[in-house]
Amino acid sequence: MDRDKAVEVKSVSKHFGTYQALKSVSFDIGENEFFTMLGPSGCGKTTLLRMLAGFESPDQGSILLHGREVTQIPPHKRRVNTVFQSYALFPHMTLEQNVAYGLENLGWERAKIRARTGEMLERVHMSAMATRKPGQLSGGQRQRVALARALAPEPEILLLDEPLSALDLKLRQAMRDELRNLQRDTGITFVFVTHDQEEALDMSDRIAVLGAGEVQQIGTPAQIYEEPVNRFVADFVGETNFLDVEVLDSREGQATIRTPLGTFGVPATGAAQKGRATLSIRPEKINLGDQAAGGITLAARVVNQNYMGGFTHYTLETGGVTLRASRRNASRQGDLVATGADVTIGFLPGSARVLAS
């Protein structure tokens, strides 16, 4: 990354009682980046976000915002604003008053506050309701006001704590685009926390996958999905098939592995060392029937199928191993393979990934 560093997290640890929420976590977030912390609940992502906001402090390690150590600085003195999961709009204030609140606390002039408040409400298409109170708004409207309120004080960094989780599916999709555009337009660094991998892949410049209080992998969405570095990441992001394999030989970017389905050569990764390993192959990378040309091909039997509309998921059995595959229903007829049918399956060696066990 060539950007300046907006956030530096340095060897941060945190205990809650005997529970270790974060184990010496370090990473940087670049200027103007849309950075997502992705992970299951309890992985420490929310604790990290709260540390950036100032609501928690690390037991060990330090946090720098734009090169300045902030570990000891209370939340109200940090130029960081948060969009809370529950939005936390003040119920006794109008939308206008909510948006103006942060500006008033920063000591802005009255006229400037009015102008900025109007501008922010305009930006999220909520001007018409400026004098209403949050109790009268729908979930999506609240979300937009919460965004306007957090962006109004011109924060250096905007923190978003699962802001889409309370919205219904259609609205969530629309809000993703809106958030992405807002980030691009304002140029503010967004730090986004979610457990929804689809959201993370869709919106982020970079993703940090967190698990068990540690950073498992940091990378672009494509890197995270296509080149997971360990079993946790491959499992948590997207669906996949795992096979226990043995690496027989690994040299010059090429590894030879022995699997229950036979011995193949696949591209090697850093994790592939001689000995026991795990092979990950995603369901959509396994081709069925006439699509299964080239690469490694095997004979299999369809054990089960789940018709999903655009796709059909197949459960396959081959050589004593159960694999899941998904196949796009490219035309109205002839795509479905019947349960119990024998079928040829295949995948390209480059689609499979060898992971350390």
Partner 1 sequence: MRRLANNLPFWGLLPAWALMGFALILPILIIAAVSVATRGSHGGFTWDFNPAGYAQILFNEGWSGELEFTPQYLIIIGRTFLLAGATTALCLIFALPVAWYISRQTPGMRAILVYLVTLPFWVSMILRVYAWMIILGKDGPLPRFLETFGLAPGTSFMFNDGATLVAMVYTCMPLMVLPIYASIEKLDLTLIEASHDLHGNRFTTFRRVILPLTAPGIVSGAILVFVPALGAVLEPVLMGGGKQMMMGSLIQLQFGGGRNWPFGAAIAMVLMGLVMLFLIVTALRAARRTAGMEARA
Partner 2 sequence: MSRSHDVKRYPGFGWLTLVFFVWLYLPLMVVVVYSFNANRIAGVWTGFSLDWYASALKNQALMNALKTSVTVALIATAVATSVALMAALAIIRGKNVRFRRLSETVVNLPLLLPEIVLAVASLILFSLVGLQNGLLKLILAHSAFCTPFAFLPIRARLQGMSLDFEEASADLYAGRWTTFRRVTLPLIFPGVFSGAMLAFLISMDDFITSNMLASGGTTTLPVYIFSLIRSGTTPELNAIGTLMILASLILATAALLVARRGTKP
Burial class (CB in 10 A: 0-12, 13-18, 19+), 130: middle
Q: Of 49 and 316, which CB lies nearer to partner 2 in the complex structure?
A: 49
Q: Is 322 in the site for partner 1 (CB under 8 A)?
A: no
The dihedral of CA 290, 291, 293, 298: what is its sign? negative
Q: Is 301 in the site for partner 1 (CB under 8 A)?
A: no
- As given in the structure block, the two tokens for residue 84 are 């809370």
The count of other CB atoms within 10 Å of the CB of residue 206 is: 19
Q: According to CB under 8 A, which one of 39, 44, 58, 238 is a site residue for partner 2? A: 58
First-residue to last-residue Cα distance in the chain = 30
Task: Decide which of partner 1, partner 2, none touches 267; Cβ closer than 5 to 8 Å per partner kind.
Answer: none
Pairing of strands 311-318, 296-307: antiparallel
Task: Decide which of partner 1, partner 2, none touches 133; Cβ closer than 5 to 8 Å per partner kind.
Answer: partner 1
The dihedral of CA 318, 319, 322, 326: what is its sign? negative
Q: Is 94 in the site for partner 1 (CB under 8 A)?
A: yes
Partnered with residue 45 across adjacent β-strands are none
Size of the site for partner 1 (CB under 8 A): 31
The count of other CB atoms within 10 Å of the CB of residue 138 is: 10
Pairing of strands 157-161, 189-194: parallel
Q: Is 177 in the site for partner 2 (CB under 8 A)?
A: no
| Cβ at position 17, least distance to partner 1 in Å | 12
* 322 vs 243: CA distance, rounded Å: 9
Task: Decide which of partner 2, partner 1, none touches 307; Cβ closer than 5 to 8 Å per partner kind.
Answer: none
- Only one of the segments 73-81, 114-122, 246-254, 305-313 lies at the binding site for partner 1 (rule: CB under 8 A); that segment is 73-81
Length of the chain: 357
Q: Of 134 and 228, which CB lies nearer to partner 1 in the complex structure?
A: 134
Pairing of strands 275-281, 353-356: antiparallel
Task: Decide which of partner 2, partner 1, none touches 88; Cβ closer than 5 to 8 Å per partner kind.
Answer: partner 1
Q: Of 77 and 110, which CB lies nearer to partner 1 in the complex structure?
A: 77
* 214 vs 59: CA distance, rounded Å: 15
Q: Is 307 in the site for partner 2 (CB under 8 A)?
A: no
* 164 vs 329: CA distance, rounded Å: 30
Q: According to CB under 8 A, which one of 7, 53, 191, 300 is a site residue for partner 1? A: 53
| Cβ at position 162, least distance to partner 1 in Å | 13
| Cβ at position 18, least distance to partner 1 in Å | 16
Partnered with residue 219 across adjacent β-strands are 207
* 279 vs 13: CA distance, rounded Å: 32
Within positions 75 to 94, which residues make up the interface with partner 2, using CB under 8 A? 75
Q: Of 33 and 56, which CB lies nearer to partner 2 in the complex structure?
A: 56
Q: Which of 158, 165, 197, 196 is nearest to 180 (CA)?
A: 158
Q: According to CB under 8 A, which one of 57, 127, 315, 344 is a site residue for partner 2? A: 57
* 117 vs 19: CA distance, rounded Å: 42
Helix axes 139-151, 169-186, angle to 10 degrees: 20
| Cβ at position 80, least distance to partner 1 in Å | 8
Q: Is 96 in the site for partner 2 (CB under 8 A)?
A: no
Task: Decide which of partner 1, partner 2, none touches 58; Cβ closer than 5 to 8 Å per partner kind.
Answer: partner 2
Q: Is 74 in the site for partner 1 (CB under 8 A)?
A: yes
3-state secondary structure 136-153: HCCHHHHHHHHHHHHHCC
Q: One symbol per residue from 127 to 166: x for binding partner 1 (CB under 8 A), - otherwise; what is it? A: ----xxx-xx------------xx--x-------------
Which residues sit at the interface with partner 2, rule CB under 8 A? 54-60, 71-72, 74-75
Q: Which residues bind partner 1 (CB under 8 A)?
A: 53-55, 74-77, 80-82, 84-86, 88-92, 94, 101-102, 105-106, 131-133, 135-136, 149-150, 153
